[in-house]
Chain A
Amino acid sequence: MSSAELGFDPSLKKKKKSKSTSSATASSAPAPAGAEADLFAGLKKKKKKSKDTTGEKDHKDSVDDVTATFETLRLKKKKKKSRHHDVDDFEKQLAKAGITTEEEAAANANLQANFIPYDKLLSRFFTILKEKNPELAGGQQTKLKIPPPEVQRDGNKKTMFANVQTIATVLQRTPEHLIQYLFAELGTSGSIDGEKRLIIRGRFQGKNIEGVLRRYIQDYVICKTCKSMNTELKRENANRLHFIVCKACGSTKSVASIKTGYQAHVGVNRRKKV
């Protein structure tokens, strides 16, 4: 990779250089130095080179033409000779060009050996990214597996939510916060038993709890910016606000504190009955 880079850069620079040299050669010096410099050049280079040689040829031709006209002024016989000379020169030039093109072909092969196709580079990038930084590599890692809530009826009027603790830890929230939300949403109260299971007053089904959990995740877990669930809930002491701090993208967003809202006094009804 580094060699390819190295090979790429100087060719760019040399291109410019050769341009300047070619312009210089147009007036005086011929090809060889330029050809050497072109050893490492790329395809574009090659074209450039051939152009250069043709330019030189033109130049030489024109020069010869001038001399020829001069000679025609003096002797018409010499003209032929000069033409012949001209052809020789031309052949020499051609030979030179042939050599340079061969050399360039070799250089090109070298380049192509160093050249890595885009697919390979891309897959290489992703394997490295997955190794070093799996969070950024794709969606697989960000998907959290949330175990389904284990909900059982506990007697006639209570519901037991067995795996609150594990769900809370998976969501990276304190169980207290989650339980507070559950109570506020369900409009009830409850307690935690000896095995850290949640006992909720009232009858609830698994799908009910699941719906509430889903809303809890929407409101208090998922990052609004990047939809990642890898977040933390932080409480700022200064303003007593809660913030979702995303571990994936680093954004922070304030969230409303859990409000129970209006609670009807169900107990009053009971008292009426008794």
Chain B
Amino acid sequence: MSNIENLKSFDPFADTGDAETQPTNYIHIRIQQRNGRKTLTTVQGVPDEYDLKKVVKVLKKDFACNGNIVKDEELGQVIQLQGDQRLKVVEFLVSQLGLKKKNIKVHGF
């Protein structure tokens, strides 16, 4: 049986890395409404290997908005930015940090 090399090439039961199996891999970008027309963008799940402080610094300057880092017990560090910065954040994460677009989920309307 062990002689059949053919069977080793592909394991149909192997994890394909498909979608919901590891939701922690996702970067969630959400939007919340504040009072009036004001909104808040939250970026959750940016990998730890990036220095969030520096990232926020750049984001603030690039988007011309205020922002800060919130530490959540379950979800880790979350970036908050003022205004609707969702599309810009996606673009930044993909082009500057080299993250994959399929791992980024944009929520909201």
Contact = CB atoms under 8 A, between A and B. Distances in A.
Interface in A30-60: none
Interface in B36-94: 37, 40, 42, 44, 70, 72, 75, 78, 80
Interface string B18-38: 011001000010111111010
A252 B39 CA distance: 38
Contact of B35 (A184, A204, A270): A270
Contacts of A211: 109
Interface string A240-274: 00000000000000111001011110100110000
Interface of B: 19-20, 23, 28, 30-35, 37, 40, 42, 44, 70, 72, 75, 78, 80, 107-109
Contacts, number: 61
Nearest 5 A/B pairs, CB to CB: A208-B109, A187-B32, A202-B33, A256-B20, A262-B44
A205 B75 CA distance: 30
Given A261-B44, A261-B75, A266-B40, A188 B32 contact: yes
Contacts of A111: none
Interface in A173-211: 184-188, 201-205, 208-209, 211
A204 B109 contact: yes
Q: How large is the interface on A (under 10, 10 to 19, 20 to 34, 35 or more residues)?
A: 20 to 34
A133 to B, nearest CB: 32
A212 interface: yes
A211 B42 CA distance: 19
Contact of B109 (A184, A185, A261): A185
Given A187-B33, A203-B33, A262-B30, 15 more contacts: A185-B109, A186-B33, A187-B32, A254-B20, A256-B20, A261-B42, A262-B28, A262-B44, A262-B72, A264-B32, A264-B40, A264-B42, A264-B70, A264-B80, A270-B35
In terms of DSSP, what is the predominant structure of the interface of chain B?
strand
A154 B70 CA distance: 32
A189 to B, nearest CB: 11
Contacts of A208: 109
A259 B34 CA distance: 20
Interface string A149-177: 00000000100000000000000000000
